[in-house]
Amino acid sequence: MSQKIEHVKCLIIGSGPAGYTAAIYAARANMFPVLYQGSQPGGQLTTTNEVENFPGYPNGITGPAMMIELQEQAQRFGTDVRDGWITKVDFSEEVHKVWVNETTEIHADTIIISTGASAKYLGLDSEQKYLKLGGGVSACAVCDGFFYRNQEVVIVGAGDSACEEAHYLSKLCTKVTMLVRRDEFRASKIMAKRVQNTENIEILFNTETEEVLGDGQVVTGVRAKNNRTAEVIEIPATGFFVAIGHEPNTKIFADYLKLDETGYIINTPGSSKTNLDGVFVSGDAADHVYRQAITAAGTGCMAALDAERYLAAKE
């Protein structure tokens, strides 16, 4: 039983570029948004050491610093930014209900979902160590590949995304070593052929990562093992890219919103609208193609504008 019930005009679930941008637009439209940051305030960018491809930062900025600035901007216009995460939802009625930390019940006229997606990692201690240090582990070649130009890198994965990212890295790096766990790609034939025909991409099939090597600060190589011959090799590299997929943070909405086969929220093309009136989606919770800070911010703007128009039409 909830201890408290609160009614809000606009509830934003999740932070990051999508959530904070939605909050900025919603606040300026006098929607008095309430934003819950979720279990990872600031989203995936808080694990990114340098952001150099977001317009307006000519000298670059760290991911955490950028999220602090976005939060401050949202708060300057009156957004109520709160700690906590949504533990339950009920979208069966016109006024949508959510529960925060299983205690506070909120009734919202509009909801903007900006819960994002989480990159999948191998789970190795060494991988997580250098990921947290910002010393050479990444799950986004487009975001971080530029930092490894004219260097040698390793990428793990076998699907279309892995092939696409390997090909992208091949344009920047002197050598890309691709580790594929099975004896074939899961990618489409056209994507597999593209990496196989790229001169500076070496593909090692039946190969798994044993350890990410480093000097305590940055990555220096990768130890890998052939799962058929048991041969162990060490591959020199300054960057280790993981491309084994993302998991959208959307399970809590599955009973009410239409999701695709991998869990991404399905939105009406050209808008942020979901299958439920008054519920909108922005950022990586719906985007499995681009997954960039700038595109997330753009859809955050769309969601706030769509929510504002939805409320205006009801007046």
Active site residues: 140, 143-144
Strands 219-226 and 232-236: antiparallel
- Measured in residues, the chain has a length of 315
DSSP secondary structure string, 88-119?
A: EEE-SSSSEEEEETTTEEEEEEEEEE---EEE
Query: What are the percentages of helix, strand and coil residues in the chain, rounded to 5?
Result: 30, 30, 40
CA–CA gap between residue 11 and residue 301 (Å, rounded): 14
Q: Residues 77, 83, 85, CA angle at the centre, nearest 5°?
A: 115
Distances (CA, A) of 96 to 3, 48, 63, 127, 220: 18, 34, 32, 40, 50
